[in-house]
């Protein structure tokens, strides 16, 4: 056996070197594990126990006043879990820097811009008149519906405040505001391709409410002011103050003379104002009216237009019935052939959605498929047949109805749409409004 000059065999030397290396490796591993265990069981250096008891306190009283949940990671973790958080009034003051930036106001409240400690921007809606039963119902509707859902096309509710002096809702902040200003404000325009995507995204959001939630949610107030837009014009359905959770395949009756009609005149389905069953098809009707306003980039009822075009839906139907779709696309300013095809598709879908009988309207899932080209659009029947008489169309009917509705409701919103609402203040008794509308509609049937 070979050996070195001292007579020690080479094999023994190699064995000793290998053994020594193994010992060193094991030692390093043990040291690393000890350090990891020490870090795992050590106390967070930002929080320390008070000497006079077991109460935990933050390093400064300022941090304690800013947010009641410590450490801050727990707060952010709750946000990430999509659960509405109950904030204090002091939280809201801190988030908004004492309400310095006002986004808008309406009959139900005022909206302020704010920011969470981690930099996420928010919209804080401070509710007013919260002692009334109606306001309490709307507050609970918001929490009970949007608070338990999550979809890319639904506005996100971060949390709420419910105290004797302050009741508020905290939403994600939508940079572009509401859709209505891009439709009705001549200084705020949007390209057609984006508008078509907004229509499709809105349809997907409503479909989620109707068909993909554990309990069906009927919104009851789909309109441009309640469609909010992100910085890249992604649409999100907002304002669930009138929404209702429903058991699937169940319907709701609205009495004729109690003023319990829901929604906004001009967008609300006929059955919303009559003693008829009300289902999710009411949202489909409102969506159809929304589509027509997107198509024309104008309000459906506009007294400034020529008499034949005062009520845009009827004008669109007459053109469609005569096969004059080019007149509609020309009116809306479409020149590109691809845009014209999309406009024609939107027109057909809208007329399907505003059918008088709820059962004649498509589901929102069908609407999405029509937009995506996965389903053919069926032939369109006259949605205004119920307004016809033996002498033809009652041309003054809709004008009379809208005049009554406009008198009964006066918009007090600035139209910012940041909070997803366009609130209306009632100036006429709800009973008389419901009766007047019912008499006019029933007379036309």
pLDDT for 122: 96
How far is the C-alpha of 332 from the C-alpha of 330, rounded, in Å?
Answer: 5
Q: What would the two tokens of residue 372 be?
A: 């995506």
Q: Is the peptide bond preceding residue 322 cis, with omega within 30 degrees of 0?
A: no
pLDDT digits (tens, 9 = 90+) for 306-333: 776 788 999 999 999 999 888 887 777 7
Q: Does the annotation place 281 within a ligand binding site?
A: no
Residue 255 pLDDT exceeds 90: no
Query: Mean pLDDT lowest for which of 32-46, 134-148, 430-444?
Result: 430-444
- H or E segment to which residue 14 belongs: helix 10-41
Please report the domains of the chain, with CATH numbers, ordered by start residue.
Answer: 67-172 (3.30.200.20), 177-444 (1.10.510.10)
Q: Higher-confidence residue: 325 or 399?
A: 325
Residue 137 pLDDT exceeds 60: yes
The average pLDDT across 279-287 equals 95
Torsion angle of the four alpha carbons 371, 374, 379, 380, in this order, in degrees rounded to the nearest 10: -20
The average pLDDT across 60-89 equals 63
The average pLDDT across 396-407 equals 48
pLDDT for 434: 37
How far is the C-alpha of 157 from the C-alpha of 168, rounded, in Å?
Answer: 11
The average pLDDT across 84-90 equals 92
pLDDT for 67: 52
How far is the C-alpha of 295 from the C-alpha of 320, rounded, in Å?
Answer: 13
Cβ neighbourhood burial of 197 (10 Å; 0-12, 13-18, 19+): middle
pLDDT for 377: 93
pLDDT for 5: 59
pLDDT for 68: 54
Identify the active-site residue in 52, 77, 185, 221.
221
Q: Higher-confidence residue: 414 or 364?
A: 364
Phi and psi for 290 in degrees, rounded to 5?
-60, -45
SS3 (DSSP) at 203: helix
Sorting pLDDT into bands at 50, 70 and 90, what band is 363? very high
Q: Higher-confidence residue: 225 or 47?
A: 225
How far is the C-alpha of 433 from the C-alpha of 439, rounded, in Å?
Answer: 10
Question: Concatenated DSSP letters for 19-88?
Answer: HHHHHHHHHHHHHHHHHHHHHHHSPPTTEEE-TTSS-EEESSHHHHHH-SSSSHHHHHHHHHTT--EE--
Average pLDDT, whole number, for the chain? 75
- Residue (of 122, 209, 118) closest to 174 by Cα position: 122
pLDDT digits (tens, 9 = 90+) for 171-212: 999 999 999 999 998 888 888 889 999 999 999 999 999 999
Phi and psi for 385 in degrees, rounded to 5?
-60, -30
Other CB atoms within a 10 A radius of the CB of residue 11 amount to 11
Query: Mean pLDDT lowest for which of 36-45, 231-240, 353-362?
Result: 36-45
Q: Is there a catalytic annotation at residue 260?
A: no
The average pLDDT across 131-160 equals 81
């Amino acid at each position: 056996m070979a050996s070195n000059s001292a007579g020690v065999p080479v094999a023994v030397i190699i064995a000793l070197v290998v053994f020594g290396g193994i010992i060193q490796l094991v030692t390093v591993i043990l040291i690393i594990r000890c350090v990891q265990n020490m870090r795992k069981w050590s106390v967070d250096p930002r929080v320390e126990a008070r000497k006079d008891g077991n109460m935990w306190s933050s390093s400064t009283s300022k941090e304690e006043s800013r947010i009641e949940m410590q450490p801050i990671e727990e707060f952010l973790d709750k946000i990430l879990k999509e659960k509405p958080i109950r904030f204090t009034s002091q939280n809201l003051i801190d988030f908004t820097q004492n309400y310095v930036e006002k986004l808008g106001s309406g009959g139900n409240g005022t909206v302020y811009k704010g920011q969470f400690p981690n930099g996420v921007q928010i919209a804080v809606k401070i509710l007013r008149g919260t002692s009334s039963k109606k306001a309490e119902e709307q507050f609970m509707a918001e929490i009970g519906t949007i608070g338990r859902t999550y979809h890319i096309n639904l506005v996100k509710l971060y949390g709420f405040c419910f105290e004797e002096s302050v009741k508020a809702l905290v939403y994600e902040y939508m940079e572009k505001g509401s859709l209505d200003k891009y439709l009705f404000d001549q200084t705020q325009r949007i390209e057609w391709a984006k508008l078509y995507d907004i229509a499709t995204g809105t349809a997907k959001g409503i479909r989620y409410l109707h068909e993909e939630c554990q309990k069906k949610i009927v919104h009851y107030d789909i309109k441009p002011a309640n469609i909010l837009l992100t910085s890249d014009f992604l649409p999100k359905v907002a304002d669930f103050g009138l929404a209702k959770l429903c058991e699937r395949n169940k319907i709701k009756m609205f009495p004729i003379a109690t003023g319990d009609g829901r929604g906004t005149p001009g967008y609300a389905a006929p059955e919303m104002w009559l003693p008829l069953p009300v289902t999710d098809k009411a949202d489909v009707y409102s969506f159809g009216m929304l589509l027509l306003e997107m198509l024309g980039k104008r309000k459906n009822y506009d007294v400034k237009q020529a008499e034949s075009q005062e009520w845009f839906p009827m004008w669109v139907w007459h053109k469609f019935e005569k096969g004059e779709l080019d007149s509609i696309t020309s009116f809306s300013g479409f020149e590109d052939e691809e845009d014209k095809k999309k406009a024609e598709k939107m027109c057909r879908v809208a007329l399907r959605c505003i059918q008088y009988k709820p059962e004649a309207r498509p589901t929102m899932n069908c609407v999405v498929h029509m937009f995506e080209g996965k389903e053919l659009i069926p032939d369109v029947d006259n949605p205004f047949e119920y307004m016809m008489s033996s002498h033809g169309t009652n041309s003054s009917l809709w004008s009379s109805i809208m005049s009554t509705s406009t008198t009964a409701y006066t918009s007090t919103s600035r139209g910012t749409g940041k909070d997803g609402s366009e609130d209306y203040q009632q100036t006429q008794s709800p009973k008389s409004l419901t009766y007047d509308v019912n008499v006019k509609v029933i007379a036309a049937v």
